[in-house]
Amino acid sequence: MSIVNSILPVYAADVSGVCSALYELGGMAVIHDASGCRSTYTTHDEPRWEERPSKIYISALTERDIVTGDTDKFIDGVVRTANKQHPLFICICASPVPVMAGIDMYTAAKRIEEATGIPTFDIPTTGAHSYICGIDKALLRIIREYTHPLPKKKGTVNIIGATPLDFHSRDVTDEICLNVREMGYDVISCIAMGSDLAEISQASSAEISLVISSGGLSAAAFLRDTYGIPFVCGVPLGKALSAQVSALLHKGEGMIKAADTDACREAVAVGEYITANSLAVRYSSETGKPASALCTVEYGGYSPPNEKTIRQILSDADTVIADPLYRYICPGKNFIEVPHFAFSGRMYFG
Kind and range of the H or E element at 114?
helix 105-116
Cα(185)–Cα(284) distance, integer angstroms: 26
pLDDT at 153: 95
Give mean pLDDT, residues 214-233.
97
Chain segment 297-329, per-residue pLDDT in tens: 999 889 999 999 999 999 889 999 999 999 999
CATH number of 152-251: 3.40.50.1980
**What are the distances in angstroms from CA 66 to CA 48, 73, 102, 129?**
32, 11, 9, 22
What is the pLDDT averaged over residues 222-233?
97
Going by pLDDT thresholds of 50, 70 and 90, the confidence category of residue 1 is very low
Q: Is 19 helix (H, G, I), strand (E, B) or coil?
A: helix
When pLDDT is averaged across residues 15-26 and rounded to a whole number, the result is 94
Q: pLDDT (tens digit, 9 = 90+) per residue, 105-132?
A: 999 999 999 999 999 999 999 988 999 9
Cβ neighbours for 68, distance < 8 A, ≥ 6 positions apart: none
14-129 and 152-251 in the same fold: yes
Note the CATH architecture for domain 14-129.
Answer: 3-Layer(aba) Sandwich (3.40)
* pLDDT confidence of residue 57: 87
More confident residue, 264 or 27: 27
- Does CATH number 3.40.50 belong to domain 259-348? yes
Tell me which H or E stretch contains 147: none
Phi, psi of 97 (to 5 degrees): -65, -50
Average pLDDT score over the chain: 91
Residue 294, strand partner residues: 270
CA 178/CA 77 separation, integer angstroms: 42
Domain segments of the chain as ranges: 14-129, 152-251, 259-348
Please tell me the pTM assigned to this model. Answer: 0.93
Q: What is the pLDDT of residue 319?
A: 95
DSSP H or E run through 267: strand 267-271
